[in-house]
Each structure stands twice: as structure tokens, then as C-alpha cells.
Amino acid sequence: MVFQFEKTSGKALRVPLFAVATGLLVAACSPAPTTTTQPGTTDSSPVEQTNAPAELTGAAVATPEVEVDGSSTVFPITNAAAEEFQKENPDAKVIVEFSGTTGGFRKFCAGETDISNASRPISSEEIVTCREAGVRFIELPIAFDALTVVVHPENTWAQSLTVSELKKMWEPAAQGKITNWNQIRPDFPNRPLKLYGAGTDSGTYDYFAEVITGGSDLRSDFTASEDDDVLVQGVANDPDALGFFGFSYFERNQDKLRAVAILDDSQGRATEAVLPSREAVENATYVPLSRPLFVYVNGRAAQQNPNLRDFMTFYLTNAQRIVESVDYIPMPGEAYEVGSVHLFKGEYGTAYDGKPQPYLTIREVLQKEQSL
């Protein structure tokens, strides 16, 4: 498998251990961190990696605060980590917001944030944007998600759907044409089909479009939002609705939503429809809607801001427990150990080829991370 790491003037962007040690010494002599957490407003192949001096050039957030933005799906995980970190470090200040994965990378590659939450790997275009701005990043898989298709509990007909049927609903060619449930399957009722889904700044939108329609776009005549709570309420209040979002949001709202089992008929891999669950993700049967979730860390900011180093150390040390506490599927403990090594050794770049890879197992994601 070919890997892709970020290139810069022929030298590997790898921070030597002595630079880390120096940074940690400075951190030990610095005042205690200062973080509060605040909720958000609204939601490969390694690029060949190069050696560079420890003092990196390029944009970075030069404040003692830790600024986080990006995916609304990853928001509950990072927000929970920030809240716990604050309890142990009352003077610390970690600001966690969400504007969607794409919106988050826009800020991150401009050097406006320290950490970018992402529900898909960084894209090829975003890699270029970050490189041109001098932003070098550390990619950390943080959890697995089961992207969940949901309907109203009064919907008794759509117990399961195939990938082909989802494509028929959501592809751009369906716009203005596929408007009733009985157009999806003849034995479904002649009722209006109301669709709710992630907005275009969301990594969930990108992932769903890639694995369901095979392209980068969905039909546009649906209720879209980067705020998953808006989508939850939309489906919960409409018996004719269907929507999609992260598993955690479904888990917290099972009293007013019903998950739809998915049959992957696109690759001939599945023989029966599978409901989203931790077990189905772990045994790689909930395909193609299982996906890794990420945080991306600005490398220069990690060197310069002891609060960011302390927060990320806390985050990775406690990640398994925190991920489970907000109803996502944790990576193996080994993955967080590898992530800690990457953080402190300055292993920059991505193990992905700039687009979602829907059939990766948890073990394969770990192998990719180890290969950086």
C-alpha cells in the first residue's frame, strides 16, 4: 500500500526528540494552563514526509488558549475531553466549537485553530492548502463511528434499506423527481419522502456522498445542517422523514428515532441488512457506513503552546474511556499509544489518499497509523 506524506523542500517534517524534550522542559517551567470548555455554535497514502528543523515556519495559533473547531460528529468526544481536562486544570482554557469538518479545515489550514476535529480524512485539496500556508499537521484517529440512517418511530415500512435504494434517494439525479416513499420500493406507502442530512461543510456529507452515491455531491432539495441536533429534531417531528448522522446522536435519542438496517448490495459483500452497533463496527459487518474519526493537531502550535501539549496528552491518555462515555466506539489502546508517539516525535502527514475509505476495519486503521 502506498502512503502519502506532506512534502516540503525535500526535508522530512519530523521534530527531533531533543526538541520535544526542550519543549517539555519549557512547559514544566511555565504557568499552569488556563482552559474552559464552551459548546459549539453550528457543526492515501502517507504524502511523503520530510525532515525539517524543529523550529517550523508557517501559520500557528500563538495564544495560551487551545482553539478547536471542525466536525459536529467529533465534537462530543473532544468536548468531553476538554471538560474533564478543565476539572483537573481549573485555570486552563480549551475552546471547542463546531462548523463542520470542511469548515474546520478551512480555519485550521489558515492557522486559526490548534486542533481540527474531522469525520473524514483530510482531503487532497486541504492538504495543499495547509502546505501552502505552512501548516504541518499530526493526524490522530480518535474513534470509530457508525453513520446511522434514521426514521421516525411511526415509520413501520422502512425496516431496512439497501445502498442502491439510498443512492436512489440521495443522488443528484433524484432532485425534484424522487419525492415519495413508494418510488424507493413499490410496497412502501405513497407518502412524501422528507430528507434530512448533513450540510455541505460537514465531513459526514462528504463521507455519505462518497460511499452512497459514488461522487462528491448529494441532491440539494433536503433539509441540511452542520448541527446534528437540528437533524434529530427534524426527523423526530416528521413521520415521513429520513435522515443520517453519527451514531452517538442516535444513541442519545433512541426514544424518538428508529435506526434503519443497511444492506450493502454495492460490492456483493453483504447478504443481510445490519443495524448500527458497536459490535457490528468491531466485526466489520456494518458497511459501508462505519468510519474512523480524527483529530488533526497543528504541529508548530504543539511545540509552542504547553497548554496544547498538556491537553492532547490528557486526551490520548484517557481517550478510550472518554470515547465510550459519549457512545462512540474507541480505538484499541495501542492506537492511542501510537498517537502519543506521533504527537511528541512530530510525525506529520496523513495515512490516507485524500478521500474516505469506507471498508477499513479498526485493525487496518491502526496499521495505517503505525505506518506513518
Domain boundaries, given as residue ranges, for the chain: 17-144+290-371, 148-282
Q: What is the largest CA-CA distance in the chain?
A: 70
Q: Report pTM.
A: 0.80
User: Hey, what long-range contacts does 104-108 have (CB within 8 A, 24 or more apart)?
Assistant: 104/69, 104/70, 104/71, 105/70, 105/129, 105/130, 105/296, 107/69, 108/69, 108/70, 108/135, 108/137, 108/296, 108/298
Residue at grid coordinates 469538518: 101
Q: Please report, in tens digits, the pLDDT of each residue of the chain (372 residues total).
A: 333 333 333 333 333 333 443 443 334 344 433 334 444 443 434 443 333 333 444 455 444 799 999 999 999 999 999 999 989 998 889 999 999 999 999 999 999 999 999 999 999 999 999 999 999 999 999 999 999 999 999 999 999 999 999 999 999 999 999 999 999 999 999 999 999 999 999 999 999 999 999 988 999 999 999 999 999 999 999 999 999 999 999 999 999 999 999 999 987 666 799 999 999 998 889 999 999 999 999 999 999 999 999 999 999 999 999 999 998 999 999 999 999 999 989 899 999 888 778 888 888 888 888 876
CATH of 148-282, one of 3.40.309.10, 2.60.120.10, 3.40.190.10, 3.40.50.150: 3.40.190.10
CA distance 222 to 262: 21
> Which superfamily, per CATH, for 17-144+290-371?
Periplasmic binding protein-like II (3.40.190.10)
Give the per-residue pLDDT at 63: 47
Q: In sequence order, what are the residues at sequence separation of 6 or more whose Cβ sits closer than 8 angstroms to the Cβ of residue 98?
A: 40, 41, 42, 43, 69, 70, 71, 72, 75, 104, 117, 226, 227
Identical fold, 17-144+290-371 and 148-282: yes
Q: Sort strands 148-151 and 329-330 into parallel, antiparallel or unpaired.
A: unpaired
